[in-house]
Amino acid sequence: MTDPERGATPVGDEKVMSQHKEHMMGEVAHEAAERGHLATDEYGQPLVKFDKAAESKLRLKIDLYIVPTVAVMYLFCFIDRANIGNAKLAGFNKDLGLVNYDYNAVLSVFFISYIIFEIPSNIMCKWVGPGWWLPGITLGFGICSVATAFVHDIHSASGVRFLLGMFEAGLLPGIAYYLSRWYRRSELAFRLSLYIVMAPLAGAFGGLLASGILKLDHFGGLRTWRMIFAIEGIVTIGIGMIAFFTLTDRPETARWLTQEEKDLAVARVKSERVGTTEVLDKLDMTKTLRGIFSPVTITTSFVFLLNNITVQGLGFFAPTIVQTIYPDASVISQQLHTVPPYVVGGFFTLLFPYLSWRFDNRMVFFVVSPPLMITGKFLSPQSVNFGIFHQACFISCANDRMTQGISCSSLARIVWYDMGPPS
Q: Which residues, listed in sequence order, are joined to residue 222 by a DSSP beta bridge? A: 219
pLDDT of residue 387: 61
Start-to-end CA span in the chain (Å): 45
Residue 354 parent element (H or E): helix 339-359
Residue 48 pLDDT: 63
- pTM of this prediction? 0.73
Contacts of 384 (CB under 8 A, 6+ apart): none
Phi, psi of 149 (to 5 degrees): -65, -15
Mean pLDDT in residue range 382-403: 61
Residues 6+ apart with CB under 8 A from 329: 337
Q: What is the pLDDT of residue 411?
A: 53
Higher pLDDT: 148 or 212? It is 148
Q: Are 107 and 316 in contact (CB under 8 A)?
A: yes
User: From the CA atom positions of the chain, what is the Rg in Å?
Assistant: 24
Residue 11 has pLDDT above 60, yes or no: no
pLDDT of residue 400: 59
What fold, for 54-417? Growth Hormone; Chain: A; (1.20.1250)
Residues 86 and 213: their CA atoms lie apart, in Å, by 11
Question: Is residue 39 pLDDT above 50, yes or no?
Answer: no
Over residues 282-295, the mean pLDDT reads 76
Query: For 98, how many CA atoms within 13 A lie in the half-sphere containing its CB?
Result: 23
Is 151 in contact with 157 (CB distance < 8 Å)?
Answer: yes
pLDDT the model gives residue 283: 66
Is the confidence at residue 2, as pLDDT, over 70? no
Query: Helix or strand or coil: residue 160?
Result: helix
Question: Which of 22-26, 153-157, 299-303, 344-348 is least confident?
Answer: 22-26
Cα separation, 402 vs 369, in Å, equals 7
pLDDT at residue 324, rounded to an integer: 76
* Residues 86 and 207 sit within 8 Å (Cβ to Cβ): yes
pLDDT at 32: 43
Q: Contact 192/353 with Cβ under 8 angstroms?
A: yes
**Is residue 384 predicted with pLDDT exceeding 90?**
no
What's the average model confidence in pLDDT over 391-415?
A: 59
